[in-house]
Amino acid sequence: MRILLIFIFISLPVNALMKKAEKIYNSGLNAEKSRVISYELSKSRYYFSSAIFAKEYLVRNGSIDIDFEQHLENLILKTGTLTFSQLNESTLKKYKTPSLKFVLGLKQFNKKEIYKAINTLNKFPKNHRFSPESFFILGSSYAQLGKRQLSKNAYDTCIETSTELEGQAENVKLKRYFAIIKETCLIHFARVLFKLNKFIEAKNIYQNIPKTSYRWPYLLLERAWNSYKIEDYNRSLGQLVTYKSPLLKSYFLPEVQYLTALNYYKLCLYDDSLTKIDQYYKVYKPQSEALKNFLIKHKNSHTYFLELMLSPIKEHESLNPYIRNMMTQTRKKIKFNLDLVNYKKAKNEFKYLKKMNNRSALIKVLTAEVYRTISQRTRYLNHYVKKGMFDFVNDIHRFSFEMFNIKLEIMSNKRDLIYKNKKLISNRSRGSWENVQRDDTQHLYDFRGEFWADELGDYSFGLKSNCKTVKKKWEEKDA
Amino acid sequence: MPKLLIILAFLLLVINTHAKGKKNVIVKYKQYEKFDLGNLEIKGKVIAPGDLSVLERKRKVFSRDLFERMNFDDKIKNDIKNLR
C-alpha cells in the first residue's frame, strides 16, 4: 500500500509535466518550443524523449545559454554520447559549448580526423564534467602524431581533473569510473614512451598502476613487451606466466603465447619455444574452430549476441569455455556497462510510453522515436559483442601465422648450426638466481608452485641465455 | 643558279655510278676451327695465382621478420572507442 502511495505521489507531477509538453507540442513546433518540451520531458525523467527535442532545438537554433548547456550535459550523462554524435558535424560545430565539443572531438577521433579532434579539444575547460574524457582524447590525438610533450601535458590534465572528480563523486561506481580514466591516462602516457623507445621510463610508469586496478591484468602483456624491449627476457617470461594464476584464468590472449615463445627464442631455448608453439596449435586450433563455427552460425543476427549477454549465466554452461570467458571479459568493460545501463533505461522509457492511455500526437511520436533508438542500440551493442569475439578469432589466426614464423626461424637456426658443425652451449639451460635482473623496487622470493595475489606480476624467470655456440666434438657427431 | 644546277647534275652522276658499282657480297664463315689451348702462349706478366680460387665471403643469412610490438596505437584507439 505504501509503495502504491509513493508511486502515485511521484507519477502525479510527472503526468502534469507531460501534459504541459503535449500542450506546447500541439500548438505548433519551433526552436523555442522544442527547447521547452525538452526541459519538460527531462523533468519527467523521459531522457531519451527529451534528447529528441534537444536535438531538434540544436538543429533549428544558432546559440545556447548556460542553462541549456547544463541540460545537454545531463542528457549526455543519462543517454550516452551516441545520442548526440548522430548530429551533423556542421550542427555540432555551430556551438562552442564544452559538452558538444566533447561529442564532436570524440566523433572526429573515431573517424581518424586527428588534427580536427585536436583543434576541437585543445582549449577545453579544466573544470567541466567531461574534462577528463576530453583531455584523454586530446592526449591520445597528440600521441598518434608522436608529440610527446603535448600528449604528456594533456594526460597530466586528464589525471588532475579525474582525480578531482573522483574525490567529489559520492557514488561508488562513479568514483571507480574516474579512477579508471585516471589510470588509463597514465597507461597511455607509458604507451607514448614505449613508442618513443623510452622503455625504462615506461616501465616506471607502468609500475604506478595498482594491482587492484581493473586495467592491471591487461597491462601485464604490455609490461612484458616493455621488458622484452630492454632485453630482460626472464622478466618478460615472468610477467607472462602470471596469466596462469587461477585469478587471471578468464584472461586469455593469443599474443601472450606468442611473446612467451619469442622470449624463449631470444634466449635460444629453441626446444622450449617449440613446445610453446606446439601447445598453441594443440590448444587453440580446436577451440578457435569451435568458436568460428559458432560465430559464423549467428554472424548475420542483429540481436543474438546481445541476447546471449543478457541471458542468465546458467544458460551458458553448454557453450564453449572461450565464449563464456569472452562474455565475462565483455561484461567487465566500462563501455559495455554504461551502454547497457542506457539501453535498459531506453527500454524502460519505451515501456512507460507504450503504457500511456492517452495516445496523443506527442506520445505517438515519442513512442516511435524511442523505439527507433532502442533498435539502433540493440544493433550497436550486438555489434560490440560480436566484434569482440571476431577480433579474438582473428587474433588467434594472426598469431598462429607469427608462431609459424618463429618455428621456421628455429629450424633455420638449427640447420645453420649443423652446417657450421656447432651446437648450442647446452641442450636446455635452466634457472639460476644469477640470471635475474632486478631494481631496488623489486623483491626476491622463490616460486614454489603457488600464485600469491601480492606477488602477481612480479615474477621473473632465471634462465641463462643459451645463445653461445661451441664446436661439436667428433664423438658427438658419430653418435 | 647555273652553278647550282651544275653541282646537282654532278651529284646525281656520282650517286648513279656508286649504285652501279655495288655488288652482292657473300660472307662465308669458317665452319670448323680447332684451338690447341695447350699450345697457346700468352705474352705478359702473370699476376694471378696459377690455381683457380674463389674469394671467401660471409654467408648471407636471411632472417624472417618476426613480429615485435612497436607501439600500442591499436590499443589506444580501442580505449577511446570504449570511452563512453
- Which domain covers residue A279, as residue numbers? 250-414
Nearest to A278 by CA among A392, A403, A401, A393: A403
Predicted TM-score (pTM) of the model is 0.77
Residues facing A469 on adjacent strands? A424
Return d(Cα A474, Cα A458) in angstroms, integer.
44
Yes or no: say if A384 and A411 are a contact pair by the CB < 8 Å rule: no
Flag whether A368 is in a domain.
Answer: yes
Tens-digit pLDDT profile for residues A90-140: 999 998 899 999 999 999 999 999 999 999 999 899 999 999 999 999 999
Flag whether A68 is in a domain.
Answer: no
Return d(Cα A224, Cα A237) in angstroms, integer.
7
Return d(Cα A206, Cα A199) in angstroms, integer.
10
Nearest to A269 by CA among A470, A471, A472, A465: A465
Whether B72 contacts chain A with CB within 8 A: yes
Nearest to A73 by CA among A45, A35, A101: A101
Interface test with A, best of B75, B76, B78, B81 (most A CBs within 10 A): B76
DSSP string of A10-46?
HHHHHHHHHHHHHHHHHT---HHHHHHHHHHHHHTT-
Grid coordinates given for A334: 566500462
Return d(Cα A210, Cα A188) in angstroms, integer.
15
Yes or no: say if A457 and A412 are a contact pair by the CB < 8 Å rule: no
DSSP string of B49-76?
-SS------PPPP-----------HHHH
Return d(Cα A393, Cα A357) in angstroms, integer.
49
pLDDT at A319: 76
Q: Any idea what DSSP says for residue A465?
A: P
Grid coordinates given for A51: 534528447
pLDDT at A358: 76
Question: Which chain B positions have a beta carbon within 8 Å of A228's beta carbon?
Answer: 68
Yes or no: say if A366 and A52 are a contact pair by the CB < 8 Å rule: yes
Whether B69 contacts chain A with CB within 8 A: yes
- Output the CA–CA distances (angstroms, integers) from residue A369 to A53, A278, A465, in the order listed: 11, 54, 65
Domain count, chain A: 1
Count other C-beta atoms under 10 Å from residue A93's C-beta: 14
Flag whether A391 is in a domain.
Answer: yes
Q: Where are the alpha helices (DSSP H) in A299-428?
A: 304-310, 321-331, 334-355, 361-419
Flag whether A448 is in a domain.
Answer: no
Which value does ipTM take for this structure? 0.81
Phi-psi region of A146 (alpha: psi -120 to 50; beta: other; left: phi over 0): left
Q: What is the CA radius of gyration of chain B?
A: 39
- Is residue B76 predicted with pLDDT exceeding 80? yes
Nearest to A100 by CA among A150, A63, A155, A149: A63
CB contact under 8 A, B81 and A416: no
Return d(Cα A32, Cα A45) in angstroms, integer.
20
Nearest to A378 by CA among A349, A346, A354: A346
Nearest neighbour of A106 by CB, restricted to B72, B75, B83? B83
Interface test with B, best of A108, A120, A140 (most B CBs within 10 A): A140
Segment (H or E) for A469? strand A469-471
Nearest neighbour of B64 by CB, restricted to A106, A338, A409? A409
Interface test with A, best of B58, B80, B81, B82 (most A CBs within 10 A): B80
Flag whether A268 is in a domain.
Answer: yes
Flag whether A352 is in a domain.
Answer: yes
Return d(Cα A410, Cα A269) in angstroms, integer.
10
Flag whether A263 is in a domain.
Answer: yes
Regions of chain A short of the pLDDT cut 70: 1-17, 427-454, 473-479
Tens-digit pLDDT profile for residues A54-68: 999 999 887 888 899
pLDDT at A87: 92
Helix (H, G, I), strand (E, B) or coil at A210: coil
Grid coordinates given for A197: 623507445
Tens-digit pLDDT profile for residues A11-46: 445 566 677 777 888 777 788 889 999 998 998 889
pLDDT at A19: 76
Whether B82 contacts chain A with CB within 8 A: yes
Quickly tell me which residue has 591516462 as its cell.
Answer: A185
Q: Where are the alpha helices (DSSP H) in A47-88?
A: 47-60, 66-79, 82-85
Q: Looking at residues B34-52, what average pLDDT do you find?
A: 73
- Output the CA–CA distances (angstroms, integers) from residue A190 to A119, A140, A159, B71, in the order listed: 24, 12, 13, 11
Per-residue buried b or exposed e for A361-386, using 16+ beta carbons within 10 Å of the residue's own CB: ebbeebbebbeebbeebbeebbebbb
CB contact under 8 A, B70 and A195: yes
Flag whether A361 is in a domain.
Answer: yes
Q: What is the CA radius of gyration of chain A?
A: 28
Instruction: Tell which wins on pLDDT, B66 or A478.
Output: B66
